Amino acid sequence: MKTLSIKDIALKANVSITTVSFIINGKAKEKAISDAVIKKVQKIIKDSGYKPNQLARSLRTGTSHIIGLIVEDISNSFFSSIARLIEDKAYKKGYKIIYSSTENNVEKTKELINLFKVRKVDAYIISPIKGIEEDIQDLLNDNKPVILFDRNLPKLDTNYVGANHFEASYQAIESFIKDGKRNIALVTTDIDVQQITERFEGYKKSIIDYELPYQENLVLKIPFNQTETTTIKQIKELLKNTEIDAVLFATNYLAISGLKALKDLNKKIDDSFSIIGYDDHEAFELHSPSISTIQQPLEEIAEAIIQLILAQLATKTKLPDQQIVIPAKLIIRS
Amino acid sequence: MKTLSIKDIALKANVSITTVSFIINGKAKEKAISDAVIKKVQKIIKDSGYKPNQLARSLRTGTSHIIGLIVEDISNSFFSSIARLIEDKAYKKGYKIIYSSTENNVEKTKELINLFKVRKVDAYIISPIKGIEEDIQDLLNDNKPVILFDRNLPKLDTNYVGANHFEASYQAIESFIKDGKRNIALVTTDIDVQQITERFEGYKKSIIDYELPYQENLVLKIPFNQTETTTIKQIKELLKNTEIDAVLFATNYLAISGLKALKDLNKKIDDSFSIIGYDDHEAFELHSPSISTIQQPLEEIAEAIIQLILAQLATKTKLPDQQIVIPAKLIIRS
DNA sequence: CTGAAAGCGCTTACAG
DNA sequence: CTGAAAGCGCTTACAG
């Protein structure tokens, strides 16, 4: 059962492939094709189940109705939730999403961008890492919509959607301080991306604003590419400092590791020791006691991204870049 | 900055595009291209940063070095973990993965398969739903490798990789019974797919084998497409039956909803009331007490899938279908 | 040892 | 109102 081509349809309908193409692409009216021919061709298309070959179409037109989504790690619930929301929204507008993980690997990311590029993806949604500025600039020069999210690359002029990490982190620490905490630790990662830096800056600023001493030994920077076992060990090490009365975890997976460390240590979360996580995770709410967390509004972020994409796709002219910063919310649970 | 084509390279090298193509595709030796020409062309390719257009290549050859992965819901950690593992392994062999979620929607799944098909995906990994048998059969007729996983479609002759759900569920119930439980509930979903049915059958068989009465009112079938709030309500309703001394949850998200219900009810998990979940979830281990669970060996499943794919891709002839059933493990935590 | 040419399946400027 | 033809960027059978 060979798959049908536009030629087969043209043959059956006894018209040229040009005519068939016009009809398929809704240009029949514009091109003044007679109603009779339109009807006939449409019937044949329907009866035969013919579907245009998108590869050939993309090769010719340079478009694909596909949006490429590049995230750090699809198995992280923050990214998979966003991916799912974007997928839903895009699908309703006739766009498909294909996604892939960078694993914070510059080489892999470059290859992915190239993969998407040669496949004529119409737009890119990227949670970027440093080192791919040039590749993204190429896309922009190529007039492709690019939306960065979660992290920004300050060197680039492009669209960005993300939460206000500085503010969120500041508020989390503020709430600790108002609760009487004095030795507040930060467990973060060593990857050098804007949103992680912001979380750190918010932590620091809040401590200084409230005239607490900034203690470098209370900040633990976990290497990105190490096993969770090692991470847990390092967190336990940190917690040997019994002065610590509160911990902010800068990502959800670090908070999970932190909870495991606490469990190992048999250390309770109570009036004298609090923690706050980042991004939500099913485990936070279920934990006894429930874990407070800084929540990024996934729905709003996904919506903002898709709106930006659609706006750009709908127009030929380059729209002004937008930097959309959405406030994250501190969810206090207890 | 127009992107380069094979023509540009041929022009620069002063050879035909045929020669360039042979060199790119490693057929230079076979086609007896002179070493001098090979060197020259390769240098030009390298210096110019030329990358062959994969779209054109796919259109011509019908292959793409891409594997399509279709799962129920990428935001479910079972699927996102498998996706990530498969992606890693495939990437090492030079294959890229593109994935998408079916949301248990037959129409969307058909469209996705078509999307992948017209893009000449080399192989398919699908966690299928009923109603797409024909589409998959088309792929098989088309001589494309298809690996079903997680769920099988018994009507089809194709490869399958999955866990032994019947056995796993049987053992879970058996362990409850050996613990002295007598009124064991099952919370499962109403979707009619093999692996869910098997979990139910294992539950039933175990109860009957151990000569306990099979009580229909202890089996709760949750509709797939409802809100979690409703699910939690239904589970709470079930738990009003205080005779129940143990519950097996047939999926990880149902177990999560179950834990939320218990938290709402302030009902403790202890000697007189036990639960077992399905698939792992960070929240299970962290919960106090830790939640026992039936664990599918993700790494082994991913490895089996990728091996099957690579074996099929490596040969032109159709290999015999394989049904790989991997035992799930009951992880008892306490 | 190397090249001209057909063809994969489309779209579209041009012609009539 | 409709069609012949060029071209998107490749691969490969054929010819020399």
Percent of residues, chain B, with pLDDT higher than 70: 99
Distance between CA atoms of residues B290 and B294, nearest Å: 13
Query: pLDDT by residue (tens digit) across A302-332?
Result: 999 999 998 888 776 677 888 999 999 999 9
B83 to chain A: which residues are within 8 Å by CB?
74-75
Domain positions in chain B are: 6-52, 61-164+299-327, 165-295
Q: How far apart are the first and last CA of chain A?
A: 63
Which pLDDT band, with edges at 50, 70 and 90, does B2 fall under?
A: low
Query: pLDDT by residue (tens digit) across B222-255?
Result: 998 899 999 999 999 999 999 999 999 999 999 9
Helix (H, G, I), strand (E, B) or coil at B246: strand
Within 7 A of a protein CB, which nucleotides of strand C? Answer: 1-5, 7-13
Minimum distance, in Å, between the CA of residue A36 and any CA atom of chain B: 30
Q: What is the mean pLDDT of chain B?
A: 89
Residue B44 is predicted with a pLDDT of 83
Most confident of A6-15, A300-309, B103-112: A300-309
A22 C-beta neighbours (distance < 10 Å), count = 21
Residue A267 is predicted with a pLDDT of 94
Residue B148 is predicted with a pLDDT of 94
- The average pLDDT across B28-38 equals 78
> Over 80: is that where the pLDDT of A3 sits?
no
- The average pLDDT across A163-168 equals 94
Residues composing chain B: 334
Residue B1 is predicted with a pLDDT of 47
**Contact (Cβ atoms closer than 8 angstroms) between residue B231 and residue B254:** yes
Query: pLDDT by residue (tens digit) across B94-106?
Result: 788 888 888 888 9
Distance between CA atoms of residues A13 and A46, nearest Å: 12
Residue A73 is predicted with a pLDDT of 86
Structure tokens at A281: 């995770």
Residue A228 is predicted with a pLDDT of 94
DSSP single-letter state for residue B30: T
- The average pLDDT across A252-274 equals 94
Query: pLDDT by residue (tens digit) across B282-298?
Result: 899 899 889 999 999 99
Residue type, B53: N
Structure tokens at B220: 């709760």
CATH domain A61-164+299-327 topology: Rossmann fold (3.40.50)
Nucleic strand D within 7 A of Cβ B6: yes
Which pLDDT band, with edges at 50, 70 and 90, does A162 fall under?
A: very high
> Over 70: is that where the pLDDT of A119 sits?
yes
CATH domain A6-52 topology: 434 Repressor (Amino-terminal Domain) (1.10.260)
- Give all strands (DSSP E) within chain B, no chain letters: 66-71, 96-101, 123-126, 146-149, 159-163, 184-189, 219-222, 246-249, 274-278, 292-295, 323-326, 329-331
Nucleic strand C within 7 A of Cβ B114: no
B-contacting residues in A 266-285 (Cβ below 8 Å):
281-283, 285
Q: Fold match between A6-52 and A165-295? A: no
Residue type, B244: I
CATH class of A165-295: alpha beta
Residue A33 is predicted with a pLDDT of 79
